[in-house]
Structure 1
Amino acid sequence: MNSAQTTAPRILIVGGGYAGFYTAWKLEKHLRKGEAEVTMVDPLPYMTYQPFLPEVAAGEIEARHAVVGHRRHLKRTKVVTAKVTAIDHANKTATITRADGVSWQHEYDQIVVTAGAVSRTFPIPGIADNAIGLKTIEEAVAIRDRILTNYDRAATMPAGPDRDRLLTVVVVGGGFAGIEVFAELRALGSALLKNYPELTFEDTHFHLIEAMGRIMPEVSLKTSEWVLKSLAKRGANVHLDTQVTSAVDGNVELSTGETISTDLIVWTAGVMANPTVVRGSDLMVEGRGRIQTRPDLRVGSEDEIIEGAWAAGDVSAVPDLSGGGVGGMCVPNAQHAVRQAKLLAKNLVAVLRGEEPKQYFHKNLGAVAGLGLYNGVFQSGNIALKGFIAWCAHRGYHGLAMPSWERKWRVIGDWWLDFWLGRDNVSLEAIQFPRAAFEEFASRPKPKVEEAPAPEAAAPAPAITDTVKVQKPAEKPAKPSTAKATAAK
């Protein structure tokens, strides 16, 4: 390593999701050659474009096309596929841990915490054992495969409780993520019926459970009511002012006293900042468990700056200077994460060059959601679009927001093929156990047969002495043959 590289500031990015990936991507654009060394650490080798997860679950987008490979798109960033399990900012070191448990210390000069968020659950019996979230590409694929597999199984069964269980889907949470995946799955469930003559529309049951008195708080009440009517027309059941009290063995018990038996529970009722990173650091944390961040995206409070520490995205509590945030802070969504990351990269480079960073200000452009093929909703201020036009706006916005043209074309290609060929509705659930078929028929060495122990040697016969006389029996005379007897006569 040459001297220029040795003396260059070392930037460590914790997390490779929206904020982490975009920060690294933009740093590569703004930094001069040799101006800094950038390392990004994430346990996954890709960034997941989460707004596409409902469409992945519904079979409209190929799973690999909804992620962005770190190593392919970050040319001058050192990518480390591992976890940051501790941050000691006082000494500017971070503990990096591989999947096999091996850990080491990484020294840095500037740290960017963009570890994102995870599903937030409550201690409801059965949820941890039976539900699945919608924060990762793996979860979206598992949801899709489970529905397809359950339809295959149900088609071979007589009508009854067991078949009803397989054809029942429960989604918990009526925010944007919950409504989108619920609507997409309802559309998928209806579209599948043409391939299953053994099943009817009345056999399928889709339930959304929401604890509040309305859905989608990001849009106006009038718009949310339109969404409810649209879902009802498609045979979807929405339970408002209702809580899940138990989900043991897939039996979802509701606060209303109703029990729904299901083989698929999708949990979308909230997120929380990545607890592994937050609890394992000595950085400033606010009341809701997020890294306390200033408007210029440096960690700290209004009166204090933690030098060399930055944060953005869902793991951070960034003041919303536009006045539209919840509790005065930016809401955790992709729109803020991407824009914060872009500004953070510029601000970090400015500080390295002795310049002043700028404050983050972004007025929400609105909210857009897909509700299944050819149906959607869009809200921006008092402007609301519904139906096909909103669906086009949804796909147009997210198609352009997907980073890199290489990824854009793959997603657009999926949509184009779906238009002409329809969904590719084949379950690959068996991929979760890839060695099952091989193991079933694999030849194994026969178990070794343990050899029986050799019999013990018989005790030797007593020696014959002069005092012991052994008598042999007298030999009997041979019986004359018939021929000789006849001759004697």
Structure 2
Amino acid sequence: MSAQTPEAPTVTTEERPAKERKVPRVVILGGGYVGFYTALRLRRRLGKREAAIVVVDPRSYMTYQPFLPEAAAGALEPRHVVVSHRRELKGVDTLTGRVTEIRHADRTVTITPTEGQPYDITYDHLVVALGSVARTLPIPGLAEQAIGFKQVEEAIALRNDVLNKLDTAASTWDPEARRRLLTFTFVGGGFAGIEAIAEVEDMARAAVGYYDSISPEDLRFVMIEGSARILPELGDEMGGYALEQLRKRNIEVHLSTFLSSCVDGHVVTSTGVEFDSATIVWTAGVKANPVLNSSDLPLDKMGRLNALPTLQVAHEDGTVVEGAWTAGDCAAVPDLANPGSYCSPSAQHAVRQARHLGDNLGRFLRSAEPTSYEHKHVGTVASLGLGKGVAQVYGIKLRGWPAWFMHRTYHMAQMPTFNRKVRIVLDWTLALLFRRELVALGRLHDPRADFRDASAAPRPKGAQKPADKAPQSEKVATPAP
């Protein structure tokens, strides 16, 4: 007689020991405002036994973009406008790599690291916080000549480029080359472009005081904007004030003008203006990260994810896509404070949406209902250089120093972590006591250049000198002003 095996009892999720329960995995794509703040908020709400959180980003830090103009101008140390993921997101796994494909039907994303082969990771809940990229156009020469202004690396490169151009211009005797080197062109009159040109121009004007052969009048700063005004978010009055202030500083502003070509640095505009410029900065708008086009998630006509006010991804008919959440520049989030419109792609919305998303996802994982995001726009602030600014906050219009102070105070308060807030305040305090640091690290982006030159085969004895070297008699001459 065979022994009968007893039937195993059924164990529900609630009865299963904690160590045997499946911990839901939340994968956050993007480590910018939305990704960073969502991970921070969710980790504070849920313990490690309630959710495993993974952040994926090509960079291991978050960049606070409103401070990039000051970093480019030397008012802030570039390292102080970024926040380390690994240091600040305790209890969160971070993967440094680029997201190349999203297959939500399989709950899988493909990640391509800097080194090694692409790999897949799976998830239970996905937060798409990929943000935006520069919206470029098929303009001849643009890809070869221009630089963007969305990352801290670009701010550092722009600062070095401007100071290097001053050094080079002070050391050349060719008047056409000098004009080209001292002409700086910015395309796009939104916040990024206006703040960048204002801060960099301020720095360059201060720097020429150390050059005997360059005067402030030799500098030429040009702004090209396709619409009829700059800073449209500030309205006609305050935008007009900002335009007036820039023109008083001899910054050329070409409105209702488009860049037609910039091959080899020769700028041609839609209005027929032509000039040579060695530095071209592109800040003419952004678009949703194009990797969304390789996903099976629903997008709107602008390539953004369709979203509900709860920050859940949804189909056009309002049906929720289970397990998918989004916010920020890559999401079309209805603006409940302004019915019929969507939340603007600003840091003000992104930070608040991220915190709300973290709370909502935490509620959902604890079987509670998510709530709708609603925020009435506080206002806008913009810096126009050291001690100069324009702002409109709660309907109050500010100009000059008060607006500049408001700009710094607001963004310092929004900067994550106490560590970074202190470092930024210290940078500003030291700037009051000492002059700007105007050293250009010219070889920063090619650190092996000197080593390559030293390793090059020696020139045979008697060989003709390179044509680009000036005769000894010219080397001791004084550069022409």
Give the TM-score taking structure 2 as reference length.
0.89
- How many percent identity over aligned positions? 47
Note the C-alpha offset of 1:220: 1.6
Aligned-residue RMSD, C-alpha = 1.6
Deviations 1:291-321 (A, max 9, x none): 1111100000452000100001111110111
Q: Equivalences for 1:264-343 in 2 at 5 Å?
A: 264-276=279-291, 278-301=292-315, 303-323=318-338, 328-343=341-356
Equivalent pair of 2:389/2:407 in contact (CA under 8 Å):
yes
The partner residue of 1:400 within 413, 419, 433 is 413
1:136 aligns with 2:155: no
Q: Equivalences for 1:66-105 in 2 at 5 Å?
A: 66-105=81-120
Q: Equivalences for 1:387-466 in 2 at 5 Å?
A: 387-442=400-455
Question: Residues 248, 5 of structure 1: CA spacing in aligned structure 2 closer, same or farther, 3 A cutoff?
Answer: farther
Deviations 1:258-284 (A, max 9, x none): 1121111010100001102x0121111
Note the C-alpha offset of 1:443: 8.4
Equivalent pair of 1:175/1:269 in contact (CA under 8 Å):
yes
SS of 1:218's equivalent in the other structure is: helix
Equivalent pair of 2:193/2:284 in contact (CA under 8 Å):
yes
AA at the equivalent of 1:351: F
> Match of 1:471?
none
Question: Residues 34, 240 of structure 1: CA spacing in aligned structure 2 closer, same or farther, 3 A cutoff?
Answer: same
Equivalent pair of 2:169/2:181 in contact (CA under 8 Å):
yes
The partner residue of 1:9 within 24, 29, 32 is 24
AA at the equivalent of 1:349: G
Note the C-alpha offset of 1:382: 3.2
CA distance in 2: counterparts of 1:11 and 1:380, whole angstroms:
37
Equivalent pair of 1:124/1:245 in contact (CA under 8 Å):
yes
Note the C-alpha offset of 1:429: 2.6
Q: Which moved more, 1:376-385 or 1:106-115?
A: 376-385
> Match of 1:226?
241
Q: Equivalences for 1:106-145 in 2 at 5 Å?
A: 106-145=121-160
AA at the equivalent of 2:280: I
AA at the equivalent of 1:24: A
Equivalent pair of 1:171/1:268 in contact (CA under 8 Å):
yes
SS of 1:214's equivalent in the other structure is: coil
AA at the equivalent of 1:282: D
Question: Residues 443, 381 of structure 1: CA spacing in aligned structure 2 closer, same or farther, 3 A cutoff?
Answer: closer
Question: Residues 352, 396 of structure 1: CA spacing in aligned structure 2 closer, same or farther, 3 A cutoff?
Answer: same
1:151 aligns with 2:151: no
Note the C-alpha offset of 1:229: 1.2
Question: Residues 268, 414 of structure 1: CA spacing in aligned structure 2 closer, same or farther, 3 A cutoff?
Answer: same
CA distance in 1: counterparts of 2:136 and 2:116, whole angstroms:
26
The gaps in structure 2 that reach 5 residues or longer are 1-16, 459-481
The gaps in structure 1 that reach 5 residues or longer are 446-489
CA distance in 1: counterparts of 2:456 and 2:165, whole angstroms:
32
Deviations 1:155-197 (A, max 9, x none): 1123611101111100000111111001111111211111112
CA distance in 1: counterparts of 2:169 and 2:250, whole angstroms:
19
AA at the equivalent of 1:284: P
- Structure with higher Rg: it is 1
Question: Residues 153, 333 of structure 1: CA spacing in aligned structure 2 closer, same or farther, 3 A cutoff?
Answer: same
Deviations 1:386-405 (A, max 9, x none): 00001110110111111001
> Match of 2:397?
384
Deviations 1:233-288 (A, max 9, x none): 11111111111110100111011111121111010100001102x01211111110
Q: Equivalences for 1:466-477 in 2 at 5 Å?
A: none
Q: Equivalences for 1:210-249 in 2 at 5 Å?
A: 210-249=225-264
CA distance in 2: counterparts of 1:372 and 1:22, whole angstroms:
29
> Match of 2:69?
54
AA at the equivalent of 1:281: S
Note the C-alpha offset of 1:93: 1.1
